[in-house]
Structure 1
């Protein structure tokens, strides 16, 4: 059973960062069994290594610039851009300008909990 974090209102400053390494940290903002929102902060040079998962993912570039690779194709994405990752597609990102990504997953990423 997945613990739910589905409050109607979530204040950013009430959520704690989970530090993944010197360049990347994330906050799990909200989720239930079928949907999850994760805020990820990257310092310049931070890397989200190539990986894949069975979840659908769409990501909004809240700030900064990222070289995003999906299924072997790379694109430079900046503030306001969005990318979609189908299930099982290999993907990763390199931060070229410090920034924040908002990752939306369906279903919930149980491995993050």
Structure 2
């Protein structure tokens, strides 16, 4: 049986989960191979340096972020993005308050409890 979200999702209907430390997330569309997640950062909130088995592309929708990928730090603003290969350390600090759109392959099973 395939794990997947509905075909059409409306932002106002998708719950936003407080994950602590000034971060919250909204799980958008997904199946076992792909997942999109909207992550809201309060000013100064930090996505701590971590790694996972998933490939990740993150798009900066709003705000300014100090992004660390494999020890290299760059400042990214709205319209920028970064790529993280599997099992590479990465993290981000939002200096202004902002939003990232994270895309994972395969899906983050830990985010939906599957």
TM-score (norm 2): 0.94
CA RMSD between the two structures:
1.1
Q: Distance in 2 between matches of 1:91 and 1:4?
A: 27
SS in 1 for 2:95: strand
Unaligned regions of 5+ residues in structure 1, if any?
none
Q: Distance in 2 between matches of 1:81 and 1:10?
A: 25
Q: Which runs of 4+ in 1 moved over 3 A?
A: none
Q: Distance in 1 between matches of 2:80 and 2:40?
A: 16
- In structure 2, the residue matched to 1:85 is 84
Asked whether the equivalents of residues 21 and 46 of structure 2 are also in contact (C-alpha less than 8 Å), the reply is no
Unaligned regions of 5+ residues in structure 2, if any?
none
Aligned length: 112
Task: Give the alignment of 1:6-21 within 5 angstroms.
Answer: 6-7=6-7, 9-21=8-20
1:21 shift after superposition: 1.1
1:4 shift after superposition: 1.3
Change (3 A) 1:93 1:2: farther
Q: Distance in 2 between matches of 1:68 and 1:78?
A: 10
SS in 2 for 1:58: strand
